[in-house]
Chain A
Amino acid sequence: MVRPLSTLKVGEKGKIVRLIGGIGIIKRLSDLGFVPEQEVEVIRSAPRGPIAIKVKGTVYALGRGVADKIYVDDLQ
């Protein structure tokens, strides 16, 4: 099921399907490894706050609004 990354719970994994939003933020996220087909894992999630996502071995803190711009699908 395709849904925003921000809806994943701690410990859940997903595969990025697309990024939405302005080109600036898309470019910045894709530079950090948030590219389609990439597997991501939610490490920590503060209620209404930012979430910590592991991508390619690195943990990033993303504001909730930013995480809403990344759409993920379940892993096969």
Chain B
Amino acid sequence: MLLVEGLQIRYMLTTFSEKTELSHISSREITIALAGNPNAGKSVVFNQLTGGNQIIGNWPGKTVERTEGWIKYRGRRIRIVDLPGIYSLSTYTEEELIAREFIISGTPDVIINVIDASLLERSLFLTLQLLEMERPLLLAVNQLDVAESKGLKTDINTLSKLLRVPAIGIIATKGIGLNRLLTTAIELAEKKERVIPPTYGGEIEQSIIELVKSLDEVYPEYPTRWLAIKILEKDEWLRQLNISQGILDRAEEIRVEIEKTHKEPIEIIISSERYALASHITRNSQFYEKKKKTFLENLDMVLLHPVLGYISMLLFLLTAFMTLFKLGEIGSSLLEKLFSNLDVLVINIPISDILRNLLFDGILAGFVSGITIALPYILPFYIFLSFLENSGYLSRIAFLTDSIMHKLGLHGKGVIPIIMGYGCNVPAILGTRILESRRERIIASFLSMLIPCSARTIVILGLVGIFLGIKWAFLIYILDLIIIYIVGLFMNRYYPGETPGLIMEVPDLRIPVLKPTLRQSWFRIKEFLYVALPYIVLGSVLLEVLKLLGWFDVINKILSPVVVDWLGLPLITGIVLIFGLLKKELTLILLSTFSGTTNFSLILNPRQMFVFSVFVTLYVPCLATIASLRKELGRFTAFVLVLLEILLALLIAGIINHLWIYIVS
């Protein structure tokens, strides 16, 4: 499966580079851009249209994910670009900037605007802004079934007439209407007709008309009405255009005048105008019949309840995590059995022992241990996470945890990377991108690095859980949460800056569709393998090299003041902890290799087991995590955070070591 996917990706990449060469010769290729609100079902439409043929990457120079796919339709190649989910095009966020840039400069042949029929008015707010840009546009009215269940009947013909663009009703999750959507999009792309932009009311419309007159013919590459609106809005993007001072001055006069009569900033007045039109169109094309509350709506009242909400959240997460770890245990022992037959392949190769050690204990073992953590532990976790996201429950968790997260300098959305951290710290750190400020990303990264990931869970359960009892393992998790809370309080207090307030959509609860959920998880696990696996293999080889050079004893001796005197651990754990840097579950494997037993009670007493597990949980995250930290926050910040973490781990584990006698008695 992995191989097939890999080949497909390679195939896609070659067609990608071919395209750039051919584009000036062949006009047969069509670019479709998908635009729409978050949660409108854009990704489902994208996945249904492109199947598995997609490339996921980042927009150049940005941390926003870019998804692009290709299909062949009647012998012609169609390129589909999935723009980031946005509410507006006012360039408040990076996503909005990207979407706008692509529509203006990337010149898609046609835009498919996916809207949620159950949230028509809000969706049309973006539609109107897209129409202002005068590119060929096709409206995909999605989630008609959801709208119907809420008692909303949509008249798509009237909607299309009022907006003066074609509209097609679809139910993307069931694949209904998508063929017609594609053929209509291609027809529109061929006609290349510009759409008629919407007209607004009152002084805003008059001002637009006045500015359009003075702008006419000056910037032929941009739609004039759109430019006029942007000038009124004082959009920062305009700076690159060098608009004449005369026009800017006149716009300023108009703006001051309007703001005086309305006693509101111009931004609000323009938004109000757009919403007035969106609301007018909605009233004329959608009809509401009161319906009984659905089961999910009633459930939602429980999930957001100030008391029941927290109880159900805790129960749900606890059950989910325990099930996931149980599944992981079963899966990884199955995989280990499967892989243990592989050594036959290497043992019979006629090469020197040194090479064989590097090949087998280095590369192969590293690869195997990467896979045995990725597939049984992280993949189910990703599926669970996609389920949380797509069902809408994740935003409810963010709502419930907002006030506690605020104390840590984050808002509710900050809980998302922290939950991800329990699966693996790598996606947790990549996931901090959803937070607005650098301060939040740094705090969230640091806190999620302290979360025991799958690999550390193996150590905690395999050592403390087995030899001291599950209660003690549980204690480590509780202790870890307390430490995170205290560290968060400190960071919030001493790291300059403010926590931005939470503004987040809480989408309707829905039952996630299986296919897109699985596909999303699959792409994520692939990203994990690309980022982390090379480091795991590299680390494994490095370990073999050091072993061959016989440096282990030297390292142990150097570390003994810290490891033996401060942490009270046996001498051999020094090298074990160093290699835990590569991957944390390795510490347990190495411990048994060096001591020649899997009965750890022979080499560690209860205190040492506990201290060891706490230290492994808290100290430097693995190499792959450091790599993603560096990628997201830069080398210096990554270095500081890692250093702080080592000090924190030493402090806590050392204190536990020295106070152990008091704790136990």
- Of residues 115 through 130 on chain B, the ones whose CB sits less than 8 Å from some CB of chain A are 118-122, 125
Residue of A nearest to B508 (CB): A59
B125 touches A33 (CB 8 A): yes
Q: Which of these, A18, A30, A58, A63, contacts B402 with CB under 8 Å?
A: A63
B653 touches A (CB below 8 Å): no
CA of A62 to CA of B399, assembled, Å: 9
- Nearest-neighbour CB distance to chain B for A59, whole angstroms, equals 4
- Nearest-neighbour CB distance to chain B for A21, whole angstroms, equals 9
A31 touches B125 (CB 8 A): yes
A61 touches B265 (CB 8 A): no
CB 8 Å contact bits of A1-43 with B (1 = contact, 0 = none): 0000000000000000011000111111111110111100001
B501 touches A (CB below 8 Å): yes
Q: Please indicate the chain B residues that have their CB under 8 angstroms from the CB of A18 in the complex.
A: 264
With known contacts A24-B92, A35-B268, A57–B504 Cβ distance under 8 A: no
CA of A60 to CA of B395, assembled, Å: 10
B441 touches A (CB below 8 Å): no
CA of A66 to CA of B412, assembled, Å: 13
A33 touches B275 (CB 8 A): yes
A35 touches B411 (CB 8 A): no
Residue of B nearest to A31 (CB): B88
- Of residues 39 through 76 on chain A, the ones whose CB sits less than 8 Å from some CB of chain B are 43-50, 52, 56-66
Q: Which of these, B90, B305, B403, B506, contacts A31 with CB under 8 Å?
A: B90
- Nearest-neighbour CB distance to chain A for B271, whole angstroms, equals 4
Q: Please indicate the chain A residues that have their CB under 8 angstroms from the CB of B118 in the complex.
A: 57
**Total contacts A-B at CB 8 Å:** 114
- Nearest-neighbour CB distance to chain B for A42, whole angstroms, equals 12
B503 touches A60 (CB 8 A): yes
B505 touches A29 (CB 8 A): no
Q: Please indicate the chain A residues that have their CB under 8 angstroms from the CB of B202 in the complex.
A: none
- Nearest-neighbour CB distance to chain A for B85, whole angstroms, equals 13
B400 touches A36 (CB 8 A): no
Which label, helix, strand, loop or mixed, suits the secondary structure of the A interface? mixed
B306 touches A (CB below 8 Å): yes
Of listed B88, B402, B406, B505, residue having the most chain A CB within 10 A: B402
Residue of B nearest to A35 (CB): B272
A66 touches B304 (CB 8 A): no
A46 touches B505 (CB 8 A): no
Q: Please indicate the chain B residues that have their CB under 8 angstroms from the CB of A32 in the complex.
A: 87, 122, 503, 505
Q: Which of these, A35, A37, A59, contacts B506 with CB under 8 Å?
A: A59
Q: Which of these, B92, B120, B272, B502, contacts A36 with CB under 8 Å?
A: B272
- Nearest-neighbour CB distance to chain A for B283, whole angstroms, equals 12
Q: Please indicate the chain B residues that have their CB under 8 angstroms from the CB of A63 in the complex.
A: 402, 406, 411-412, 501-503
- Nearest-neighbour CB distance to chain A for B363, whole angstroms, equals 48
B92 touches A60 (CB 8 A): no
Q: Please indicate the chain A residues that have their CB under 8 angstroms from the CB of B88 in the complex.
A: 31
- Nearest-neighbour CB distance to chain B for A37, whole angstroms, equals 7
With known contacts A33-B125, A63-B501, A66-B503, A56–B304 Cβ distance under 8 A: no
CB 8 Å contact bits of B70-100 with A (1 = contact, 0 = none): 0000000000000000011010100000000
B304 touches A43 (CB 8 A): yes
A50 touches B90 (CB 8 A): no
A28 touches B264 (CB 8 A): no
Q: Please indicate the chain B residues that have their CB under 8 angstroms from the CB of A47 in the complex.
A: 306
Q: Please indicate the chain A residues that have their CB under 8 angstroms from the CB of B399 in the complex.
A: 44, 46, 50, 52, 61
B402 touches A26 (CB 8 A): no
Of listed A43, A56, A57, residue having the most chain B CB within 10 A: A57
B565 touches A (CB below 8 Å): no
Q: Please indicate the chain A residues that have their CB under 8 angstroms from the CB of B507 in the complex.
A: 58-59
With known contacts A23-B265, A35-B271, A29–B503 Cβ distance under 8 A: yes
Q: Please indicate the chain A residues that have their CB under 8 angstroms from the CB of B120 in the complex.
A: 57
Q: Which of these, A26, A36, A57, A59, contacts B121 with CB under 8 Å?
A: A57
- Of residues 385 through 406 on chain B, the ones whose CB sits less than 8 Å from some CB of chain A are 395, 398-400, 402-403, 406
- Of residues 216 through 248 on chain B, the ones whose CB sits less than 8 Å from some CB of chain A are none
With known contacts A31-B88, A56-B121, A62-B503, A50–B403 Cβ distance under 8 A: yes
Q: Please indicate the chain B residues that have their CB under 8 angstroms from the CB of A29 in the complex.
A: 503
With known contacts A50-B402, A61-B398, A26–B268 Cβ distance under 8 A: yes
The contact sample of 8 A-B pairs, CB cut-off 8 A, is A33-B122, A46-B399, A49-B403, A58-B505, A59-B506, A61-B395, A63-B402, A65-B501
Which 4 residue pairs across A and B have the least CB separation, nearest first?
A: A63-B501, A49-B403, A66-B501, A63-B502
| 9 more A-B residue pairs beyond the given contacts A61-B399, A63-B501, with a C-beta to C-beta distance below 8 A | A32-B505, A44-B304, A46-B399, A46-B403, A49-B400, A49-B402, A59-B508, A61-B398, A61-B506
Interface residues in chain B, defined as those with a beta carbon under 8 Å from any beta carbon in chain A: 87-88, 90, 92, 118-122, 125, 264-265, 267-268, 271-272, 275, 304-306, 395, 398-400, 402-403, 406, 411-412, 501-508
